[in-house]
Structure 1
C-alpha cells in the first residue's frame, strides 16, 4: 500500500502550489505582475505539473553540433539503427514482462516478483525513502542526456531548437527540448528518424558508460580502497539480529560465514543462500564434553516435528543433536543442551563424525548439530579480530540486517560511504537510463516511439503503400497496440506494487 504520510505530503504540497497559483492569477492587483514574472523566468504551472524552459543552453547545443561533423554523422546513424532495433526489442520486452506479471498474479510464490526486467517504481512503496536522492538525480540526469541527444541531432539536421527545459510531474523529474516543428516537417523521414532516435541512443550510451564505470570502480579506487579482503559493514539495522554488544558494528570486516569464505558482498549473499538451502552445519567437540539431555530436561518435539532439549527462555544454551558414540550398544541420536558459544568457539565444522577424526592426536571428536526449527539456521559469522557473532534465525533476516560494501579504506580518514554512494548511483543510472531507452522506444502515443514509428513508415513504406492516409492508418493501429501494451504493463505493475 502507498504510505499515507507520503501521499498526504505530495497531495498537500501540490494543492498549496496550485491554490497559490490560482489566487494570484485571479487577483486584480497581482495578476499582471505574477504572469509577467512567470513568463520572464520560463515557468509554467498546471495541476501536478510544473516546468521551466530557457534558451541559455542553445549556444552549448550549437557548439556540440559543430564538433567533428563526420564523426557525428556516424554517431547519429548508429543511433538510428539502435532506435529501430530498440523499438522492436521494447515490444518484445514489454510482452514478456506482461506475461511475467500475469504469471505472478496467479502464483503464490513471492520470488517471482524479482524476475521481471521492468517494474513500476513508486517512491516510498518499492523504493526506500533513504534512496530517493539517488533515484531523482539519476532520473533527471538520464532525462537531460536524452534531451541533449535530441537537441544536438536536431541542430545537425538544420532544425531550430527553441529551448530546453526541466519539469516535475507529481514527484518525477524530467527534461524536454522544444523543436521548431516547421523545420522538422521540411526535412526527410530519415533525418527525422535520426533526431527522434537520438534520445534513446544517448540513454543507451549513458547506461553502458555507467556500467563501465561500475566495472572499473575497484581499479579507479585502488589507491585508496582495497577489495577482496572481506565485506565491510557500513550499516547495522538497530534492534536487528546483527545488532548488540557481540553483534556486528559499522567498520567490521566479515571474512566468513561458517565454512564459507567471504571476500566481498557477492560472497556474503551466495554464502547465505547456500546456508539456507543446505542442512545445518555441525561442529566437532570432544565426546567427554557432551552431557545427555536428561541433565537439563528431557528432549521434546516442537510443533514442526523437530527436537528441543533446552528451556525456551535460555539465551546462552542451545540444543545440539549427535549420534551416540560407537562404544555403546547401538547408535541412536541423542540430544544435549550446551552453552553454545563455548561449544562452537575454535571448533571446526563438520557434516558427520568422520569429519572429526584427528589422526595425528589420536583423539576422535563427535559432530554435534544444532537442533533447530525448520528453515532456521545457526550461523557463525567471522569478523576478526572480534569474536564470532552467533546468529540463530532465518538467513535472509541476517542479510537484511546489515549493509555491506566490497571497498575497505586504506586510510582511516576516508569515508566508508563514498564507494557505496558511487556504486548505488551508477546502479540507478544504469536502471533508469536503460528503462527510459526501453519505454521511449515503444511505439506509443506521446512518446518518442510515436515519432520514430511515423518516420520509419514514411521512410520504408512510401513505395509500397503510396497512399499517405493508408500509411497513417497503419501507423495509428500500430501505435494503438503499443499504447495498449504499455498501459497494461503500467496498470498491472501499479496494482502489483500497491495492492499486494
Structure 2
C-alpha cells in the first residue's frame, strides 16, 4: 500500500539539502575578508523562502488544467466534418458534389446556354410578377381581416405556413421533405450555372434553421465580381428557374396520377378525407372516410364536393318527408320565438339532438313548428321541397314535407360516408367546404400517400415566387442588381445613383414581403 502523500513530502524534506539559513552561516564563517553583517542580513531577508514552504505551496494549490485544448479539439472536429453549430442553426457543407456539378456544367454547352438564358427571361418576369402577386395577396388579406365571409378564406395565392397551426403534424414529414427537395434543386441550378460561367464553387451544403431545412452553395465571390452582369443574371436566376421547372414537373406528375397510379389507387368513387378537421368526431368526418354524397347530390371527387356545397349554399333549404303522425306542435316543447334575423326557432338553444322544423298545417294551411329529434327524423327519409313531392312518393295524407327552421344562410346538410351513419351538419356550407381536406385518390393499400408531390408543387412554386422578390438577402436582390447594371449603364452613368435606385427598389420589395408575412402570421395564429 502506498504511503500517504504527507509522508512522501516528509521523506522528500528529510533528504533535501539543509535549509538556506545554514548555507548562509557556512558562507559567513568561511569567508576570508570581513563582510558587513548588514549585507548578509539584506541577502538573507531577500532570499527565497525555505523549502518547506515551497512544498506546502505545491501541495495546496496545483496548477489548473485549461479547457482551451478541448475547445480547440471540438472545433477542429466540427470543421473537419464540415459542420457548423450555432443557436437554432445547424449547417453541413461538403465538396463531395463538386465533381457532379462540374460534369453537369459540361453537358451540351449550347443547350445549357439556351436553358439558362430562358431562366433569365423567367427570372425578370417572375420578379415583376412576384411584386404584383404580393400586392394582390396583401389586398386580399386586408379584405379578409375586415370581413367575416368564409368564402374569402383561403383565397390568397401565398399563405404563411405554421407547423401545428395550419399544417397538421401528420403532414410534417412530407412538408419538410418537399421543402428540402425544392431547396436542393434550387441550389443545383446556381451551382451548375456558376461553373458554366467559370465561377468556382467552394462547396454545397444543407442546413436546419429552427425546424425548417434548406440548402445552399458557396460561390467564390471574387469570380462573381469579375464576370459581366449578363453572366451574373444567368447565375442568380438559375435557382428560381429550376424551382419553376420542378413545379411544372410535379404538376404534370399529379395530372398523370390517375394513369400512373391506377394499379394502387382508385378514383371516381368519392372524396377521401385526408386530415383531421373541425368536422371530426364520433359521428363526424374522420381521416380515411370516403364521402359519397351531400343530401341528394352525388360526390365522386373533390370537384363534386365543392360544386354540391356551392349549390346547397344558394338553394332553398332541403325538406324531408316526415309521417304526419310524428309531428307535434311547438306548444308541446315551448312556444316558437323569433331570432334576431326574423327566423323562428322552437327548440332549446342548448339542445344537441333536436332541431326545429316548419311545415304547412293541412287544416288551415298556416306554418307551424315542431321540435323533433333530428337524426331519427331524417335517417333514410326522402327529400322534398313541397308537400306535393311527398304525395307523389307516398299515400296521400300520410306524409308531409318539413323544412328545418334555420337562420339565414345556414343550412342543414346530410353528409353520406358509408358504412357509417350520416354526418349531420348545421352551419354555413363554405365553412364545411374549407374546413375538410379531401383528395380524389383512394389508396388500394393503406400505406400509400400522395401528399409529397402536392407539397412539391406548392413549395417549389412558392420558392420560385418568393425568391424572385426584390428583397434583401433573397435571390431577387442579386437579380435586381445585375439587371440594373446590365440595362441602366447607358442611361444612369453614375454607379452610385444606380445603387441608390436599387436600394429603394429593394426597400420597397422587402417592406411588401414583410407586410405579407406579418399579416399572414396574424391571420393564421391570432385570429
Tell me what 1:480 maps to. Answer: 507
Matching residue within 488, 494, 500 for 1:461: 488
Structure 1 stretches of 5 or more lacking a match? 1-25
User: Aligned pair 1:268/2:293, yes or no?
Assistant: no
CA contact (8 A) 1:290 1:336 kept: no
> For the structure 1 residues 254 and 489, does the alpha-carbon distance in structure 2 shift closer, same or farther, using more than 3 Å as the test?
closer
Match of 2:369 among 319, 335, 341: 335
TM-score by length of 1: 0.81
Which of 375, 386, 392 matches 1:358?
A: 392
In structure 2, what is the Cα distance between the partners aligned to 1:38 and 1:149? 28
RMSD: 3.2
Q: CA deviation at 1:204?
A: 0.8
Q: Distance in 2 between matches of 1:337 and 1:444?
A: 60
Kindly state the Cα deviation for residue 268 of structure 1 after the two structures are TM-superposed.
2.4
Q: Which residue of 2 aligns with 1:279?
A: 316
Deviates more, 1:473-482 or 1:450-459: 473-482
Counterpart for residue 77 of structure 1:
117
Partner Cα separation in structure 2 for residue 388 and residue 47 of structure 1: 51
- Judge which range, 331-340 or 203-212, deviates more: 331-340
- Bigger shift: residues 180-189 or 291-300: 291-300
Farther-moved stretch of structure 1 (166-175 vs 339-348): 339-348
> SS of 2:499's equivalent?
helix
Provide, for residues 452-479 of structure 1, a one-character-per-residue CA deviation record: whole Å limited to 9, x for no partner: 1222122222233333333333323332
Segment drifting more, 214-223 vs 107-116: 107-116
Is the partner of 2:69 in helix, strand or coil? coil
Cα contact 2:279–2:436 (8 A) shared by 1 = no
* 1:356-403 Cα distance to aligned partner (Å, 9 max, x none): 342897788522213345555432233445554444556567568865
The aligned residue for residue 190 of structure 2 is 150
**Which of 321, 344, 367 is matched with 2:358 structurally?**
321
Do 1:299 and 1:335's aligned partners in 2 also have CA atoms closer than 8 Å?
A: no
The secondary structure found in structure 1 opposite 2:163 is: coil
Q: Deviations over 1:67-107 (max 9, x none)?
A: 22222221111101101111111222223333334444555
When residues 186 and 89 of structure 1 are mapped into structure 2, their CA distance, relative to the original with a 3 A threshold, is same
Cα gap change, 1:181/1:336 in structure 2, threshold over 3 Å: closer, same or farther? closer
Q: Taking structure 2 as the reference length, what is the TM-score of the superposition?
A: 0.77
For the Cα contact (< 8 Å) 1:296–1:309, is it kept in 2?
no
Question: What is the match of residue 9 of structure 1?
Answer: none
Measured in 2, the distance between the counterparts of 1:358 and 1:180 equals 82
Q: Does 2:337 correspond to 1:301?
A: yes
Pairwise CA distance, 1:483:
2.7
1:389-443: per-residue Cα shift (whole Å, max 9, x none)? Answer: 4445565675688654322345xxx11x62xx32x32232222222211221122
Structure-1 separation of matches of 2:219 and 2:253 = 33
Partner Cα separation in structure 2 for residue 184 and residue 156 of structure 1: 12
Which residue in the other structure is 1:47 paired with? 87
Task: State the match for 2:20 in structure 1.
Answer: none
Which of 342, 357, 367 is residue 401 of structure 2 equivalent to?
367
Structure 1 residues 291 and 446, CA, compared in 2 at 3 Å: closer, same or farther?
Answer: closer
Residue of structure 2 in register with 1:291 after alignment: 327
**Structure 2 match to 1:470:** 497
Structure 1 SS opposite 2:237: helix
Residues 77/139 of structure 1: CA separation in 2 closer, same or farther (3 Å cut): same
Residue of structure 1 in register with 2:42 after alignment = none
SS, match of residue 62 in structure 1: helix
Residues 255-298 of structure 1 show CA distances to partners (whole Å, capped at 9, x for unaligned) of 211111111133224433443443321023455x4534178445
Q: Which moved more, 1:424-433 or 1:357-366?
A: 357-366
Q: Which residue of 2 aligns with 1:438?
A: 465
Distance 1:50 1:347, change over 3 A: closer
Q: Rg bigger for which structure? A: 2
Q: How many residues align?
A: 461
Secondary structure of the 1:115 match is coil
Secondary structure at 2:415's aligned position in 1?
strand
Q: Distance in 2 between matches of 1:391 and 1:466?
A: 67
In 1, are the aligned partners of 2:339 and 2:345 still within 8 Å (CA)? no
C-alpha separation between the residues in 1 aligned to 2:434 and 2:524? Answer: 20
Q: 2:476 and 2:403 mapped to 1: Cα distance?
A: 60
Aligned equivalent of 1:448: 475
Deviation at 1:338, TM superposition (A): 4.9
Out of 232, 237, 240, the position equivalent to 1:200 is 240
Q: Note if contact 2:330-2:371 (Cα within 8 Å) is conserved in structure 1.
A: no
d(CA) in 2 for partners of 1:105, 1:340? 35
Hey, what's the Cα distance between the residues in 1 that align with 2:471 and 2:523?
23
Contact 2:336 2:369 (C-alpha < 8 Å) held by counterparts: no
Please state how far the C-alpha of 1:312 moved relative to its aligned partner: 7.3
